[in-house]
Structure 1
């Protein structure tokens, strides 16, 4: 590989993609391996590329495309696809909707090693099918084989460093509380909102019921869903400290284990997380209606994956909890 002025490189092959940048624009002007033509020179200069690296046949070291591909392949576990290199970067996509699990300490170790770069959505993030969850790259065009091998072995030892856990929940019950909704005074907005959030994971609500703000009726419906082996029971409304808000006490009286009554995330700090046998019960505050992203969106993919949540897990969510 050799650096040359663009005007002297006609007939040579590019050793890298040439990228053109502009306002809200980024595109590949010429791909790696392109044989430079006389007509390309002005286009190169227009994009700020007065010098390029050209290929001289067999290169020493490992090219950025190969290095990034090897990093990505060594890291992935279940339900992930590694794409072909593009612009020196390799993207990793989810094959299914679900929960992204990542060994962040291993990723950190990779990023502490020059010249490797590994970025991801974040451990315990909910992802859609075909969503990009991570990207791998090296900073220069070429690096040493021994460095790539070292990182490859690190990732292989800890594999899977990345994986996506699909939803394990099959039956979802929705209990909408509010006397004003039950009496038909106002139209419910929770069901369509929650349907949309669940559709992201390929799931549907099995059964919906509307109840007045009466503790016993709410408690009994939760118990009914539990007896019918619903994996997830969503209870909306009545989660504040107002005198009419009886949802938390109704959940408690079912005998459920209260994992968290309140959560260090805004909006949605009044979310309630509990478990009755194998059924997760979530008390959902009204902020899921006006706010695009709340604590419910953070917790939902972990519950759908049937992770065992505890108070320590919840307490740790305060770091990054201001959405």
Structure 2
């Protein structure tokens, strides 16, 4: 590989993709291997390429950036993770199923401390959809030595996985919608449709749904009934604030469920409640789940679905990044 003035590159194959950037523009102008022609010179210069790298023999490149990125992606992909063919020297890793993304943060840091290697992921414990991009990788130079590449690849393979997706383990979900105004028909319920949409992300549906008044005993009894009927996750909506008519938190406590936190360090959604009735999770959802696109529920749900039993420490850690 050699660096030459673009005027002297006619007849030579490009050793890399040439990308044109501009306001709202990012496109491949010429792909790697393109043989430069005289008519290409103005396009190259207009894109700021007065010098280019050319190669008459791929052997002088070492391991090309696209091949290197593909090998890193293959080594990085854990359970339920796949990857696409490289574009612009970058390989994108995708979730093969919906679920919870788990990232080995220590291993990820080690990879990114290696010179010339880049691996970026979505945040650990993020809920992801099927075929959603969850990570991307590339190398900084146009090519990398085989020894350097093998070092990183072996680091990934010996400590794998750096990332994986855990599909939902919970299938039967029950919803208890509370509120005198809904129970009496004064307003229409909006919670069921909202929760249906959120669960569709994970290819799940609501197994049971009921509307109850703000009556502590009725809410408590329905939670217990759902558990006895085999419901694996119970969502109780509304009545989570400190208004005089809000009884949902007390109803959850009255079931003798273990309350992990009353309140989460995430805004919006700080009034959510997480509890376990034996091993069945019971979530109290505040009204902000309706108007706000993302709330504490969106952070908690994928972890619950993956079968994690959340602790007070788990919830406390959500305060970092909890201001949405």
TM-score normalised by structure 1 residue count: 0.97
Counterpart residue number, 1:22 = 22
Q: Would you say 1:71 and 2:77 are equivalent positions?
A: no
Native 8 Å contact 1:265 1:294 kept in 2? yes
Equivalences for residues 201-212 of structure 1 within 5 A: 201-212=202-213
Question: How many equivalent pairs are there?
Answer: 323
Shift of 1:56: 2.5
Shift of 1:144: 2.0
Equivalences for residues 46-57 of structure 1 within 5 A: 46-57=46-57
Shift of 1:61: 2.5
Counterpart residue number, 1:85 = 86
Structure 2 residue matching 1:72: 3-state secondary structure: helix
Native 8 Å contact 1:171 1:232 kept in 2? yes
Native 8 Å contact 1:168 1:304 kept in 2? yes
Counterpart residue number, 1:317 = 318
Instruction: Render the CA deviation track for 1:147-200: whole Å, top value 9, x for unaligned.
Output: 111111111111111111111111111110000000000111111111111111
Counterpart residue number, 1:231 = 232
Instruction: Render the CA deviation track for 1:114-160: whole Å, top value 9, x for unaligned.
Output: 11111000110011111110011111112222211111111111111
Distance (whole Å) between structure 2 residues aligned to residue 297 and residue 112 of structure 1: 31
Q: Which runs of 5+ in 2 are unaligned?
A: none
Shift of 1:60: 4.4
Structure 2 residue matching 1:175: 3-state secondary structure: strand
Counterpart residue number, 1:278 = 279
Distance (whole Å) between structure 2 residues aligned to residue 191 and residue 46 of structure 1: 55
Counterpart residue number, 1:129 = 130
Instruction: Render the CA deviation track for 1:87-128: whole Å, top value 9, x for unaligned.
Output: 111110111111101101110111111111110001100111
Q: 1:229 to 1:278 in 2, by over 3 A?
A: farther
What's the RMSD between the two structures over aligned residues? 1.1
Native 8 Å contact 1:229 1:279 kept in 2? no
Equivalences for residues 240-319 of structure 1 within 5 A: 240-319=241-320
Distance (whole Å) between structure 2 residues aligned to residue 173 and residue 298 of structure 1: 19
Q: Which runs of 4+ in 1 moved over 6 A?
A: none
TM-score normalised by structure 2 residue count: 0.97
Counterpart residue number, 2:2 = 2
Structure 2 residue matching 1:181: 3-state secondary structure: helix
Instruction: Render the CA deviation track for 1:290-311: whole Å, top value 9, x for unaligned.
Output: 1111100111110111112111
Distance (whole Å) between structure 2 residues aligned to residue 80 and residue 25 of structure 1: 30
Q: Which runs of 5+ in 1 are unaligned?
A: none
Shift of 1:19: 0.7
Deviates more, 1:29-38 or 1:178-187: 29-38
Structure 2 residue matching 1:318: 3-state secondary structure: coil
Distance (whole Å) between structure 1 residues aligned to residue 235 and residue 312 of structure 2: 20
Native 8 Å contact 1:177 1:212 kept in 2? yes
Instruction: Render the CA deviation track for 1:209-256: whole Å, top value 9, x for unaligned.
Output: 000000010011111110111111100000011111110111111111
Counterpart residue number, 1:111 = 112
